Amino acid sequence: MKWVGRSVSKIDGVAIATGKPLYTEDLTVPGTLVVKLLRSPHAFARIKSIDVAAAKQMVGVECVLTHQDVPQVRFTKAGQSFPEPSPYDRLILDPIVRYVGDEVAIVAAVDEKTALAALDLIKVEYEVFEPVLDLSSAIDHPSVVHPETDLHCNFPIGLEQQRNIASSHTVEVGDLAAELALCDVVVEETYKTQAQAQAMMETFRSFTYLDQAGRLVVISSTQIPFHVRRQLARALQIPATRIRVIKPRIGGGFGAKQTGVCEVYPAIVTLKTGKPAKVVYERKETFIASNSRHATEFKVRMGASHDGIIRAIEIVGLSDTGAYGEHAPTVFAVIGDKTMPLYNKTKAIRYQGHAVYTNKLPGGALRGYGATQGTFVQESTVNKLAAELGIDPTEIRLKNLIRETETSLYYKGKKLGSSSLHRCIETGKSMIGWDAKFPRIEQGSKVRGVGMAVTMQGSGIANIDTASAEIRLNDDGFYTVLVGSTDMGTGSDTILLQMAADVLNADMDQFIINAADTDVSPFDPGSYASSTTYVTGMAVKKAAEELRCKILEQAAKVLQAPADQLELSGEQCVDPASGKTVSVASIAAAAVVGPDHRQLSAYATFGSPVSPPPFVAGFAEVEVDKETGKVTLLDFVAVVDCGTVINPALARVQTEGGIVQGIGMALFEDVQYDKKGNLQSNSFMTYKIPGRSDVGIVRVAFEESYEPTGPFGAKSVGEVVINTPAPAIVAAIYNAVGVQISELPVTPEKVFKGMQQKS
């Protein structure tokens, strides 16, 4: 039975689509306390006094907590394997508030109205400081965002507290100045990217209660159950043995829920009161008080010879980690890690800069995790270089891009295992009609242009991400798959079963999957870093292979034939020589009855020394109105190399969704703060995510490669798909009207001003 490569519908699809109660808030019980958070109205201040007496006296209020009532141990909310690279710079509640929205007090009451009314009764006196609101002047600003003496790093990340530097990073190979001097052409450009919001439809929410043993149970919309367990143990100063984290169905994550944003608040209420508690963030809270993509500013220099061979690349700049350093060092690293290896004819490269603290919304993980920003700045510069040299943008890439078995300066010595990127470019060119449309077609006051970009990502974090899987043959002859990965709508539970069913040659109906529950699941870092198909998938495949051997060993005893001669065919083990069979069900039943038997199960762990990159070639066709600067996206073509496509329908939708999220970042999602540090783009009325009429046509094709280290040759698809729209659309606009947009998002004003300046 072949399951890999088939468009199997998601196993939970019909249930979730028809509104069954399967998400965190649906699982709360009567009597659950409602938790609300008092948030700072100031970007940077110290709490001089806080008076909660009136709130505590209110009927229905069960718990009011301030910084005086919580453990004073710093931790990070970043969901990363221990030891986390992110600094421990948080307290549950801190006497210093560092951005508008930072938590000041926790209130729990019998219902939402009471909790909100109690918030109004809390009186706080603040000593307000001058906030740090500008990324480019954050370093050595007179205000120090983290003046505390107990901030902790697990290992050196180049943090300099007094200078507002959260982390520092340098990768340098070869003599950059000398190589640039040898280049025939050197182009230079400065870019800014905005703090895009993840904007998943289900906001942050968690539900907590004490179980029969008095343990804290946390049901949470999270991508990282095991990391949340460890974070809570540290933040609440209780042993991890006292905590169980369960992930039900999740209404989207996109990286937002790779940070333990809200779990700690109901958790501490439940510990203090003994009662069930829940927190459900409003949309505004989700915008102003969680995390977003790190905003960046970069300067890029790129040099090439006349024939278009790129010899030197330099990317230098800053990322804005906001008030807390969650994911700061790692996102900064990924900006270079997942972009610079693409162009491997280089003789010298330099990637350098800092993540800096400001008094704004903290940075975090958002699909792409830095590669999106890196792709925008590098690919925009490659397009500029191609224009300068008079070479077709597709040709310059075909000449310079890394191929299978080649190495790059960035990944010294590591050979690229699989790539069909050159084929992706050829296919995309043909689909968009590049040769007929490049660079522009004028139609009166409107001009159409095409542009393109390429990108890579990873598949899991090399040498860090390690996932385990267990598969059991149950007494009734069906299988249970236990994993700790966190399907957030992607369909990972389904594709993991496709892999297991393929190996065990059985119907998918014979499998159940349990994911994720820290009391039950084998360890998995969670679903992030494009890891689940590749890392957890390989663990599932290895466990299934081991279980297959064990089943055939038992069959060999019954059939009196060597195990390696037998075949597993659905519900039967077959000896092709004799034609004799024994059913898997009878082996399963016999395994659980009587002495000297053992239930058949297999356990496997997988971690990889490499993070095989998936690739995308993205092509945009836009129409620019010369009278208004309005850009209409007509067509977007994405050609994807994710290795073997495990489930074409799900991979296609992942790609379409990622492309549209990238289109949002390119054209619509504008982040605006006022002068006091209030995030003004804090609702879907002020922060526009793409609606269904905004995106033109998105077309997707796959050019399969075979990744030798991946399950069935698969790599990843979740993140890589968001990276190309911004640089491809910006290039299409340039090719249409000659205006280079270097600051996202593109707006009609910027395009119009650009055209005015040109003429």
Partner 1 sequence: MKLELLINQKIYALDVAPDEMLADTLRSKGFLSIRKGCDTSCCGLCTVWIDGKPVLSCTMLSFRVAGKAITTIEGIQPEAEKFARILAAEGSEQCGFCSPGFIMTVIAMKNELKNPTEQDIQHYLAGNLCRCTGYMGQMRAIKTYLRGEVQ
- The footprint of partner 1 (CB under 8 A) covers 7, 9-10, 12-14, 16-21, 23, 25-26, 198-203, 249-252, 254, 282-284, 488-491, 647, 649-650, 652-654, 656-661, 683-685, 689-693, 695, 697-698
User: Which pairs with CB-CB distance under 8 Å and at least 24 residues apart come from 334-337?
Assistant: 334/369, 334/370, 334/371, 334/374, 335/296, 335/298, 335/370, 335/371, 335/373, 335/374, 336/169, 336/171, 336/374, 336/410, 337/370, 337/371, 337/410, 337/458
Please give the sequence-ordered ranges of beta strands (E in DSSP) within 484-630, or none if there are none: 511-514, 567-569, 572-574, 581-583, 601-607, 615-625
The least distance separating partner 1 from the CB of residue 442, rounded to whole angstroms, comes to: 26
Report CA 408 to chain centroid distance, whole Å.
25
Closer residue to partner 1 (CB): 8 or 584: 8
d(CA 690, CA 633): 12
**Which amino acid belongs to residue 479?**
Y
Query: What is the nearest approach in angstroms of partner 1 to the Cβ of residue 122?
Result: 22
**Three-class DSSP category at 322:** strand
E strand or H helix at 45: strand 45-51
Please state the closest distance from residue 201 (CB atom) to partner 1, in A.
4
Query: Is the Cβ of residue 383 or residue 455 nearer to partner 1 in the bound state?
Result: 455
Peptide bond into 690 cis (omega under 30): no
Cα–Cα distance measured from residue 335 to residue 294, given in angstroms and rounded to the nearest whole number: 11
Helix, strand, coil shares, percent, the chain, to 5: 30, 25, 45
Alpha helices in 289-420 (DSSP H): 328-337, 371-389, 393-400
- CB 699 → partner 1: shortest distance, Å? 8
CB-nearer residue toward partner 1: 4 or 377 = 4
Identify which of residues 240 and 653 has a Cβ nearer to partner 1 in the complex: 653
Cα–Cα distance list, 195 to 129, 179, 234, 561, 745 (Å):
24, 34, 29, 64, 10
**CA–CA separation, 372 vs 351, rounded Å?**
16
CA distance 12 to 4: 18
Compute the least distance from the CB of residue 34 to partner 1, in Å.
Answer: 12
Min CB(639)–partner 1 separation in Å:
15
Q: Which is nearer to partner 1, 194 or 203 (CB)?
A: 203
What is the nearest approach in angstroms of partner 1 to the Cβ of residue 182?
A: 44
Q: Dig out the tokens for 683 from the structure.
A: 């609702």
Question: Minimum Å distance from CB 654 to partner 1?
Answer: 8
Decide if 80 contacts 153 (C-beta within 8 A).
no
What is the strand order of the sheet 243-246 is part of?
61-65, 103-109, 33-39, 277-280, 205-210, 216-220, 243-246
User: CA 84 to CA 312: how far, in whole Å?
Assistant: 33
CB contact burial 85-97 (16+ within 10 A = b; e otherwise): bbbbbbbbbbbbb
Q: Which is nearer to partner 1, 5 or 13 (CB)?
A: 13
What gap in Å lies between CA 645 and CA 717, rounded to an integer?
A: 9
Shortest spacing between CB 490 and partner 1, in angstroms = 7
Nearest distance, CB of residue 7 and partner 1, angstroms: 7
Specify the residue, 394 or 492, whose C-beta has the smaller distance to partner 1.
Answer: 492
- Maximum distance among all Cα pairs of the chain, rounded to whole angstroms: 90
Cβ(328)–Cβ(367) under 8 Å?
Answer: no
Please identify, using beta-carbon distances, which residue of 256 and 617 lies nearer to partner 1.
Answer: 256
Q: Which tokens sit at 215?
A: 């343990």
Rounded distance between C-alpha atoms, residue 604 and residue 470, angstroms: 7
Q: Which tokens go with 667?
A: 């054209």
Nearer to partner 1 by C-beta: 22 or 54? 22
Is 10 or 360 the residue whose CB approaches partner 1 more closely? 10
One-letter amino acid at 518 equals: T
As measured in angstroms, the least distance from the Cβ of 687 to partner 1 is 10
Q: How far is the CB of 191 from partner 1 (least distance, A)?
A: 25
- Pick the closer one to partner 1 by CB: 185 or 697: 697
- Pairing mode, strands 123-128 and 45-51: antiparallel
User: Which residues have a Cβ under 8 Å from the Cβ of 352 and sit 6 or more positions away?
Assistant: 169, 170, 171, 172, 315, 316
Could you tell me the smallest distance in angstroms from the CB atom of residue 237 to partner 1? 34
Tell me the CA distances in angstroms from 704 to 497, 714, 717, one per residue in order.
21, 9, 12
Shortest separation between residue 658's beta carbon and partner 1, angstroms: 8
Per the CB < 8 A criterion, the answer to whether 483 and 466 are in contact is no
Residue closer to partner 1 (CB basis): 36 or 244? 36
Between 259 and 554, name the residue whose CB sits nearer to partner 1: 259
| Cβ distance to partner 1 smaller for residue 583 or 686 | 686
DSSP H helical segments within 338-370, as ranges?
none
Residue 366 CB, shortest distance to partner 1, in Å, is: 12
427 vs 655, beta carbon nearer partner 1 = 655
